[in-house]
Amino acid sequence: MSIFIDNDTRLVVQGITGRDGSFHAKQMMEYGTHVVAGVTPGKGGQKFEGQVPIFNTVAEAVKEGGANTSVIYVPPAFAADAMFEAADAGIEFIVCITEGVPVLDMTRVRPYVMEKGARLLGPNCPGLLSAGKSKVGIIPGHITQPGPVGLVSKSGTLTYEVVYKLKGAGIGTTTCVGIGGDPINGTSFIDCLAAFEADPETKAIVMLGEIGGTDEQDAARYIKENVTKPVVGFIAGQTAPPGRRMGHAGAIISGSAGTAEEKIQAFRDNGIGVAQRPVDVVGLIQGAL
């Protein structure tokens, strides 16, 4: 199986005629994702690549194309409106790739999407890929293969590295999920851990965290109490100086709770195998399977 997306995913691409949206729409289509519609206001009635109908609104894409999932490639200033629109249209799963969405916008978007009963992934994330079934976002399809490992990460780049190393060792994945590293996002480590625990084809889980906040510590406690499958982890930013943002907006140490050392200790205290380097995840997973 897989989590969140599969062969039944029917995708609408918001911003399909833009530079990023058009490039990645082609990549998703080539992977086999069912891209049923695109949305660019003012360009309704046109077709993308001669086959995907373009609509002016997400509501039209849902009505005419039966879209149940949306991926957003629009500038930061318009990302909140795009997420609001997708939720209003009845989209069940909203993936926002856009980087630089203001935190204040997310304080309004996240509760609104939840009230509508939808799931939000992101913003500022690479999306997700269920190997051999569907990909929504920017994770390269060729670095993955189907297998028994579920992966959840704050970092897109680390996701690519670890998945590629796993594939090189002959180990595939069920679903790779990049949740993003912004201070406020839609889907958490715990959400993904619960989904992987419920997925019968996922036999082991990789969790890639980073400095800043307490999400990793909360997830570690959740794992000890609720997850029966082996989990291995890695924390990025082990040499980062306190008080300096490193990469993601949420990756800043403010107090002891956000340090790599504290997170690594939380992993160890709760039975999670800890990799010292991303490549070490491979050996830990081999030992867990």
pLDDT of residue 250: 52
Average pLDDT over residues 38-50: 97
Q: What's the rounded Cα separation, in Å, for the pair 57 and 87? A: 12
The mean per-residue pLDDT over the stretch 268-277 comes to 97
Task: Give CA–CA dist 205/176, Å, rounded.
Answer: 10
Read off the pLDDT band of 253 (50, 70, 90). low
Name which residue leads in pLDDT, 194 or 252: 194
Cα–Cα distance measured from residue 13 to residue 160, given in angstroms and rounded to the nearest whole number: 22
Residue 42 phi, psi (nearest 5): 95, -10
Helices (H), 66-155: 76-88, 103-115
Q: Which amino acid is at 152?
A: V
User: What three-state secondary structure class fits 113?
Assistant: helix
For residue 50, the tally of other CB atoms under 10 A from its CB is 6
- Is residue 65 within 8 A of residue 36, CB to CB? The reply is yes
> What are the tens digits of pLDDT across the range 239-249?
666 655 555 55
- Residue 254 in this model has a pLDDT that exceeds 60: no
Active site residue: 24, 34, 142, 248, which one? Answer: 248
Q: How confident is the model at residue 259 (pLDDT cuts 50, 70, 90)?
A: confident
Helix orientation angle between 103-115 and 76-88, rounded to the nearest 10 degrees: 10
The one-letter code for the residue type at 104 is L
What is the reported pLDDT for 202?
A: 98
> Above pLDDT 90, what percent of the chain?
89
Confidence check: pLDDT of 208 > 80 = yes
For residues 91-104, average pLDDT: 97
Q: In terms of CATH, what superfamily is 10-121?
A: NAD(P)-binding Rossmann-like Domain (3.40.50.720)
| Residue 264 confidence class, pLDDT cut points 50, 70, 90 | very high
- Do the two domains 10-121 and 139-288 of this chain adopt the same fold? yes
- What is residue 213's predicted lDDT score, i.e. its pLDDT? 85
The pLDDT of residue 211: 86
What tokens appear for 132 in the block? 């051999």
Q: How many residues does the chain have?
A: 289
pTM for the model stands at: 0.94
Instruction: Report the CATH fold assignment for 139-288.
Output: Rossmann fold (3.40.50)
Closest CA to 127 of 119, 118, 135: 135
**Residue 255, pLDDT above cutoff 60:** no
Please report, as a single letter, which amino acid is at residue 71: V
Span 210-227, mean pLDDT? Answer: 94
List the chain domain ranges: 10-121, 139-288
Would you state the pLDDT for residue 237?
A: 77
Active site residue 34: no
